[in-house]
Amino acid sequence: MPYRPNEIEKTWQAHWASHGSYVARIRRDQPKFYALDMFPYPSGKGLHVGHPAGYTASDVVCRYKRARGFNVLHPIGYDSFGLPAEQRAIEEGIAPQVSTAEAIETFRGQLERLGYSYDWSRVVSTADPGYYKWTQWIFTKLYARGDAYLGEAFVNWCPALGTVLANDEVIDGRSERGGHPVERKRMQQWTLRISSYADRLLQGLDGIDWPEATKTAQREWIGRSEGAFIDFAIAGRDECVTVFTTRPDTVFGATYLVLAPEHALVDGITVEGQREAVRAYQARTASRSERDRQASKEKTGVDTGARAVNPATGEQIPIWIADYVIAGYGTGAIMAVPAHDERDWEFARALRLPVREVIAGGDVASAAYTGGGAMVHSGPFDGTPTAGGEAVRAVTRWLAEKGAGRATVNFKLRDWTFARQRYWGEPIPVLKDDAGQVVRTLALPELPLELPAVDEYAPSGSGESPLARAKGWSTVDDAVTGRTLRREVDTMPGSAGSSWYFLRYCDPHNDAEFCSREASDYWMPVDLYVGGAEHRVGHLLYSRMWQKALFDEGLVRDEEPFAKLRHQGMVLAETYYTRGPSGRFDHVTVPEAVLERAEKTARVRVRGEEMDAEVRWEKMSKRKGNVVNPDDVIRTFGADALRVYLCFLTPLESDKPWQTSQLEAQFEWLKRVWRLFFEGDDDVPHAVDVEASEAELRVVHRAIDKVTRDLESMSLNTAVSALHVATRDLARLGTRSRAVLGAVAQLVAPLAPHLAEELWTRGLGHPATPGGIAYVPWPVAEARWLVDDTVTIGVQVNGKTCGTVDLALDASEDAAMEAARAVESVARHLAGKTVAKVIYKAGKILNVIAR
RNA sequence: GCGAGGAUGGCGGAAUUGGCAGACGCGCCGGACUUAGGAUCCGGUGCCUCACGGCGUGCGGGUUCAACUCCCGCUCCUCGCACCA
């Protein structure tokens, strides 16, 4: 019988499940290996082939590590709170608990059919009360630490829908559904003080093995900058405006101040004559969406009429408001030094404000000069060079002595708004009084605080969460305080449950603790985390913060959760665009037929009509009609072929253009592997106990060596190609050696585990053990089979290759020259010339310099 | 604008870190076997050239006996961030 993946894959999946082949236990006599996949959001649409791209890579590594004697923890679960289920609840009235449970069942089946070696006994689901009990408990810890607080935050408020929208529900300043205008509205929101971890989040990056691009993204997101606060007294008032600047050395050039329009001091300091203009400008700013603000960098602003005193010069300078100053960064106020800051320069030019040069070296009349040089027009500091930071330090010290400033470090990182006005999330375990003040958080015995059943999932219309409708739930006669209190009706964001799930996997059934120290001390940190790069500053930063908070509480040993991180590329598919109403190719379509096809264009038939289309490679998504369902692929080619294909197509981190022909090619390769082990319709095994030939040993040990090195470095595509080569060569040699074929089965096992189990047992006659081939010790490459006695090296004349020659590895230079001269093409190049010099690196190259 | 990464055949990609560029696979061309084939197998395939040979890793320089690889200067692409003081 030929290779029939559907039959053998089912058999082995059942074997692994019934024997608990991949159930992980703490074993102190073995090194541990914790491989983590970013758990999926279980959407109703099921898995698409984008998920297996990363999951396969980590599974290959896990299977390899088991064979290398590691005790592997490879869990999976579901990030099951989220908007799509909530949206379905609103639209169709289906409880998210129900639709999510269904989706999880679908996902589970699909993941099982891909042959992943997950420990299915450790599945977690963030929407499960047994799980979110601990998410809530950690929240109370954060609250106790002062890391969770009620703060004011801007939300996307849509008056027409009467609801707060998530960022991804707002497109171009309008609601995704209905296209209603969306405003920025200040609301009291639970907020996590991630900013107080900024320095540690920055420093922790130095010690972890992550893609450099991701570390850079986090560093920039955190945005540390050193500088100073400088106080500018307001003329005629007791107050002062504190600004943050990284260039205190330019303070003598500060010719005006700018406050963000939202700055708290604006109303108080604005002079009567300017009040109307200031109000109008504030209103204008509030109505402009973030997007509009970004689109136009034209400098606008209004003078408040108030004056501040420059503490360096003693001069009075105007105080303006302008939207180029961001309320949320620094102090929301700047000292403008138009001579040496491009933004200030543009503003000064647009509004005819004075420019004063205080650093020599540029022509500040024509452009801001941001380079270095000697200080000028700066009183006692004239002549001080800016190089080396001396000027900054000296001026900061001087201001500090005058009581007008101090050195500081500022971060871009803003606190994390940790509340959604939504039903489908973890209830925040807090009781408040009627004034909205927090009375207490719930204690562990009161957790989980479960979501109440509601009749209606739509937002309340007042901006409150749908939980506010559940009166019986939201009002509590509290036995602890003896008062009637109100529950928090906001829920946590999707990123809550995913910020610690990797810890719960270590001890998923623990009722007494979120995760025992014993379990986390053994399994943590994660040795390999594979997931999409889109989470580089979200989930991957939040998780690091929670880990640090838990570390501070003594609840975990490690300060960093993920020792090694790798991203997988996206799976891309061809997407067809036809002409939309605008005449441009901007309308996504799924053609009935492709009639003609060029590289980037095609002639297609859509609803019986022929038309031109553009073809682009884009990320698979349901909306674009270009998704490939793994179930369909598995039905035709098997999970093993899909796994091998995903590994082979491109390096792990590169995007993967979906090509069915390449998938088929890997299926064909697996068939060739099958035929290496079985003969004829009755599957007569080839393997016999004969001594392997030297040629066979060379092939197989070379493959062992290459595949081992490639799996270590996660170079899965080249590992597959090494196996292609070995399969081809062994087929030519007609290999029957049980030992050689055994090694082949083992090398194939991480990539195509079902096939390998079949080859190992039925093909080679090994008994089927509970653990299977994954636990058979990995073969070792013997060095003597890796080197050839003879090598083919290139022969160059004057640095240009003109032939090759086969030589003993240790051949002398004379022997090499003799052999080279015997090669006709080399002789031709040497004809009529005299050899001036010979460069010979044994086993590498022979280069003859001839004149 | 800032930051990061990249550019190798018709395509996806290799190249032990300075030593035969193009492994492996797709595609294409040709062949064997076959009643048949979505069974299987073999050969060819960077470009120019009948050939000898020449040219080739985004472009221009440089270092070197030797450069995809190192150095200098550009161009283009992709992805982030985007008035962060």
Whether A794 sits with its Cβ under 7 A from any strand B atom: the answer reads yes
B72 C1' to A658 CA distance, Å = 40
According to the model, what pLDDT value does residue A760 have? 96
Q: Is the CB of A223 under 7 A from strand B?
A: yes
Residue with tokens 């007008």: A404
State how far the Cα of A258 lies from the Cα of A275, in Å rounded to an integer: 16
Q: Is the CB of A293 under 7 A from strand B?
A: yes
Distance CA A803, CA A79 (A): 60
CA of A334 to C1' of B75 (A): 39
Nucleotide nearest to A534 (CA to C1'): B80
- The gap between A650 CA and B8 C1' (Å) is 15
User: A810 CA, B29 C1': separation in Å?
Assistant: 42
Mean pLDDT of A701-705: 95
Long-range contacts of residues A764-768, Cβ cutoff 8 Å, at least 24 apart: A764/A677, A764/A685, A764/A687, A764/A738, A765/A685, A765/A687, A765/A738, A766/A742, A768/A15
Say which residue, A596 or A332, is predicted with more confidence.
A332
Bigger pLDDT: A140 or A472? A140
Distance of alpha carbon A550 from alpha carbon A139, whole angstroms: 11
Strand B positions closer than 7 A to protein CB = 3-5, 11-15, 19-21, 23-27, 38-42, 52-55, 65-67, 79-85
Does A632 or A582 have the greater pLDDT score?
A: A632
* pLDDT band at residue A182 under the 50/70/90 scheme: confident
The H-or-E segment that residue A398 falls in is: helix A390-401
Which CA-bearing residue is nearest the C1' of B64? A799
Q: Which chain A residues 171-210 have CB under 7 A to strand B? A: none
Question: Of chain A residues 394-413, which have a beta carbon within 7 Å of strand B?
Answer: 410, 412
Computed over every residue of chain A, the mean pLDDT equals 90
Task: Measure, in angstroms, how far nucleotide B48 C1' is from residue A798 CA.
Answer: 23
How confident is the model at residue A526, as a pLDDT?
97
Contacts of A669 (CB under 8 A, 6+ apart): A644, A723, A724, A727
Q: State the pLDDT at residue A673.
A: 95
Residue A296 approaches strand B within 7 Å at CB: yes
Answer whether any strand B atom is within 7 A of the Cβ of A167: no
Q: Tell me, what DSSP letter sits at residue A414?
A: -
Region A451-455: mean pLDDT is 90
pLDDT(A846) > 80: yes
- Nearest nucleotide to A342 (CA to C1') is B83
- Tell me, in Å, how far CA of A661 is from C1' of B66? 40
Please give the backbone phi and psi of residue A574, each rounded to the nearest 5 degrees, phi first.
Answer: -70, 135
**Mean pLDDT (whole number) for A789-797:** 84
Residue pair A9/A754 in contact (Cβ under 8 Å)? The answer is yes
Backbone angles phi, psi at A714, to 5 degrees: 60, 30
Distance A797 CA to B66 C1' (A): 10
Q: Does residue A773 have a pLDDT over 60?
A: yes
Q: Which nucleotide is nearest to A217 (CA to C1')?
A: B80
- How far is residue A388 CA from its own chain's centroid? 36
Average pLDDT over residues A114-138: 97
| Alpha carbons A553 and A545: distance in angstroms, whole number | 13
- pLDDT band for A170, please (50, 70, 90 cuts): low
Model pLDDT, residue A289? 60
Tell me the nt nearest to A414, Cα to C1'.
B84
Mean pLDDT of A77-88: 89
State, as a whole number of angstroms, the distance between the CA of A477 and the C1' of B8.
72
Evaluate if residue A293 carries a pLDDT over 70. no
Length A538 CA → B80 C1' (Å): 13
Q: Which residue is nearest to nucleotide B16 (CA to C1')?
A: A706
Q: Which nucleotide is nearest to A791 (CA to C1')?
A: B20
- Count of helix runs (H) and strand runs (E) in chain A: 25, 35
Q: Is the CB of A823 under 7 A from strand B?
A: no
The strand B neighbours among A residues 411-430, by Cβ under 7 Å, are 412
Does the CB of A288 sit below 7 A from strand B? no
Residues A199-218: pLDDT tens digits?
999 999 988 999 988 998 89
Interatomic CA–C1' length for residue A250 and nucleotide B85, angstroms: 12
Residue A357's CB is within 10 A of a number of other CB atoms, namely 22
Question: Rounded to an integer, what distance in angstroms lies between the CA atom of residue A257 and that of residue A273?
Answer: 19
Report whether pLDDT(A624) > 80.
no
In this complex, the answer to whether residue A320 has its CB under 7 A from any atom of chain B, a nucleic strand, is: no
Residue nearest to nucleotide B66 (CA to C1'): A799
More confident of the two residues A278 and A163 = A278
Q: Measured in angstroms, what separates residue A837's CA from nucleotide B55's C1'?
A: 26
Cβ of A847 < 7 Å from strand B?
A: yes
SS3 state of residue A487: strand
Q: Quick check: A457 and A89 in contact, CB under 8 A? A: yes
Between A232 and A594, name the one with better pLDDT: A232
A6 Cβ nearer than 7 Å to chain B strand: no
Nucleotide with C1' nearest the A411 CA: B84
Average pLDDT for A367-386: 91
pLDDT at A92: 87
- pLDDT over 70 at A599, yes or no: no
Angle between helices A639-649 and A5-19 (to 10 degrees): 100
Judge if the beta carbon of A830 is closer than 7 A to nucleic acid strand B.
no
pLDDT at position A617, please? 82
Q: Percent of chain A at pLDDT above 70?
A: 97
Name the closest residue (CA) to the C1' of nucleotide B10.
A599
Greater confidence (A754 vs A361) lies with A754
Q: Write the DSSP assignment of A26-47 as a string of letters.
A: --TTS-EEEEEEPPPP--TT--
Name beta bridge partners: A653. Answer: none
Over the stretch A798-831, which tens digit does the pLDDT of each residue have? 888 888 888 888 888 888 888 888 888 888 888 7
Do the beta carbons of residue A630 and residue A47 sit within 8 Å?
Answer: yes
A37, two tokens:
């996949």
Name the one residue in this structure whose structure tokens are 């493959």. A703
Check if residue A799 sits with its Cβ under 7 angstroms from strand B.
Answer: yes
Q: What DSSP string runs through A806-838?
A: EEETT--HHHHHHHHHTSHHHHHHHTT--EEEE
Residue A471 pLDDT level (bands cut at 50, 70, 90): confident
Closest nucleotide over all strands to A709 (CA to C1'): B16
Instruction: Name the token pair of A531.
Output: 């997931």
Strand residues in A91-142 grouped as ranges (E):
124-125
pLDDT band at A248 (very low <50, low <70, confident <90, very high): very high
DSSP-based three-state secondary structure for A243: strand
Residues belonging to chain A: 851
* List of A residues 428-447 with CB within 7 A of strand B: none
Residue A825 Cβ under 7 A from any strand B atom:
yes
In the 645-684 segment of chain A, residues within 7 Å (Cβ) of strand B are 648-651, 654-657, 659, 661-662, 664-665, 668-669, 671-672, 675
User: pLDDT for A512-569, tens place per residue?
Assistant: 999 999 999 999 999 999 999 889 888 999 999 999 999 999 999 999 999 999 999 9
Q: Which nucleotide is nearest to A793 (CA to C1')?
A: B20
SS3 A334: strand
pLDDT at A604: 78
Q: How confident is the model at residue A292 (pLDDT cuts 50, 70, 90)?
A: low
pLDDT tens-place string over residues A320-364: 999 999 888 999 999 999 999 999 999 999 999 999 999 998 888
